[in-house]
Amino acid sequence: MSDGYEVEPDRLAGQQAQLDPIAGRVTSIHQTLTAALAEAGACWGSDAVGQSFAAAHASPADSTLAQLGALPGQLGSVGDRFTATAATYEGDDQHGARRLRAAGPDLTEA
């Protein structure tokens, strides 16, 4: 049948293991960056130009750092969904095979 698609459940589920090292690396980067920023402290300056720069850029920088910190968990969630999707495909395939067998004799032997 060429009009459909195929899924290799084992291969799909195996993709989760590919994401684990990436999540670990992102965690390490986030920790290193957070420590460096904490050590540097507020670097905007206290003059009008520094305060203007901080007003424009501090919040987006904090948001970006928070998003980077959340990324490992999001990658883990994607991996979990790969595994769950693979299990669903496998279960659906097995269910379809049982229904076909229950429908009647094996026509391939005729």
Q: What is the pLDDT of residue 109?
A: 59
Determine the average pLDDT of the residues in 98-104.
86
pLDDT in tens, 11-52: 999 998 999 999 999 999 999 999 999 998 888 888 999 899
Helix (H, G, I), strand (E, B) or coil at 105: coil
Residue type, 57: H
CB of 71 closer than 8 Å to CB of 25:
no
pLDDT in tens, 56-98: 999 999 999 999 999 999 999 999 999 999 999 999 999 998 9
Residue 108 has pLDDT above 80, yes or no: no
CB of 13 closer than 8 Å to CB of 79:
no
Q: What is the pLDDT of residue 3?
A: 76
Residue 104 has pLDDT above 90, yes or no: no
